[in-house]
Amino acid sequence: MYVIDCIEIAICVLRVEAAMTAPYSRALEHADEEERITARTDWITLMYNVSHCRLDKGHTSVAPAAIATTTPSISAISWNESGRIDVFGVAPDDSVWHKYHVPNGGFEPVGFEDLGGFVDSAPVVTSWAAGRLDLFALQGGTVVHKYFDGSDWQPSSDWERLLGQDGSEYEDFVGQLAAASWAPGRLDVVGKAENGTYLHLYYDGANWVGWENFGGNFSSAPSMTSWAENRFDIFGVDVDGSVLHKYWDGEQYQPGHGPDDWEKLDGGPFLSTIASSSWGPGRLDVWTLDEDGALSHAFWSNYADYHKFEGLGGNFTTVPQVVHWGPDRTDLVGQFAGEVQYSYKYYFPTQWSDWQAKGGDFVSQPAVTAWSADNLNILGIGESGVLDWQLWIGGQWLPSFSGYYALGNPGESDASISNEMVQDEDQVVLLDGYKQEM
């Protein structure tokens, strides 16, 4: 069975000095003056990358989605087929929070786990196998890392700073990182430097190797995905609005290793937000936005057959989140410009649906993930600051097509925040542990 999950979406704290649309402006009312003052201009143009890979033979790789807003967002990932979801975000004090859904149960803890970090970028999460999670973020422009080894978070006291193999420390990363894994013990991280170039670091099971300079002059954060072992693809939007592509084929980089060796795709100019995904070996999808905010989609099938960009409509400022729960299945969830609700579109088996309103009153872009075929989980931060959750399971939307379960407010300091998903017995009836309204 294919479990093509995760999208990862990463998080941005409510910090901005720029004028935004009405829903985002309302979100700023919850930010204090210090948060407004410390906002950086790069947050205003921050883009996350969606990348997505299949969970096959125990391997998972995910890189987060890209966002062009400065409202809080979340990232979510699933690493097994039994209902495990891990959700991450950034608290008002810049620490990373964590909440997870256990197989055959509800969300834990009651409240939110504090992972520390004091980060100045959204965390990126990836997994190379069940029970393993790796988080990456920026602190002062330097990449930091924390991981879950199946029982505990490591390092236990703080986050490790990732240095180059020569011991050098890069301090000029901006925006959002991208991360992926194509096998147990393998991690790849790509970030954008202040000068617009992409830099790459990887873990080979024993050592961190890099940073290597991929060059380019990008306006977007990188997006990265992997469809199988020894394969990963990197996409970005350059300052001219073109989509550029580079990939590792198991032996060498294509179209080359040099900083000027990038494949330029057709179309454009595009906005500085991009996502990539895959539903299995030989299939690769890339998503971006036309200048009018409409979603554009190009893909490769059968390993080499390229299909040029097609328009999928909508009106976005950030590329929607993408999930494939199996071959020939694509689910998209995003937020139209000027709207607070989410919108939804899917492809199966040979055609696209229309965009459909999913309700809600959100100040964050969505996080979307699937733990198995015929499952979809949509999470977001509501205007009140509460983490909301909607799921598709058993052929139905729960609690309803446009309704959401409340999972608590990660911005509250009280660790005993009630978790309605756990405590409201009217919502709990399925013996398998999944929630279904009576």
- Could you read off the pLDDT of 332-376 as tens digits, one per residue? 999 999 999 999 999 999 999 999 999 999 998 999 999 999 999
Angle, CA 150 vertex, CA 418 and CA 100 arms, to 5°: 20
pTM of the model: 0.81
Cα 285 to Cα 91: distance, rounded to the nearest angstrom: 32
Cα 311 to Cα 297: distance, rounded to the nearest angstrom: 7
Angle, CA 122 vertex, CA 118 and CA 123 arms, to 5°: 80
Cα 219 to Cα 166: distance, rounded to the nearest angstrom: 28
Average pLDDT value over all residues in the chain? 81
Q: How deeply is 195 buried, as exposed, middle or buried, from its count of CB atoms within 10 A (0-12, 13-18, 19+)?
A: exposed
Cα 284 to Cα 403: distance, rounded to the nearest angstrom: 32
Cα 139 to Cα 157: distance, rounded to the nearest angstrom: 16
Tokens (6 digits) for 121: 């970028």
Tokens (6 digits) for 392: 């598709």
Percentage of the chain modeled with pLDDT above 70: 77
* For residues 44-49, average pLDDT: 28
pLDDT at 413 (0 to 100) = 55
Percentage of the chain modeled with pLDDT above 90: 70
φ, ψ (nearest 5 deg) of residue 321: -85, 145
Cα 299 to Cα 308: distance, rounded to the nearest angstrom: 7
Domain ranges of the chain: 3-427
Question: Taking a C-beta distance cutoff of 8 angstroms, is the pair 67, 175 a contact?
Answer: no
* For residues 305-312, average pLDDT: 97
pLDDT digits (tens, 9 = 90+) for 244-285: 999 999 999 999 999 999 999 999 999 999 999 999 999 999
Cα 107 to Cα 79: distance, rounded to the nearest angstrom: 15
CATH number for the domain whose boundaries are 3-427? 2.120.10.70
Q: Find residue 368's DSSP bridge partners.
A: 378
Position 18 pLDDT exceeds 70: no
The one-letter amino acid code at 59 reads: H
Measured CA to CA in angstroms, residue 208 lies from 225, 231, 280 at distances of: 19, 18, 27
Position 36 pLDDT exceeds 80: no
Phi-psi region of 292 (alpha: psi -120 to 50; beta: other; left: phi over 0): alpha
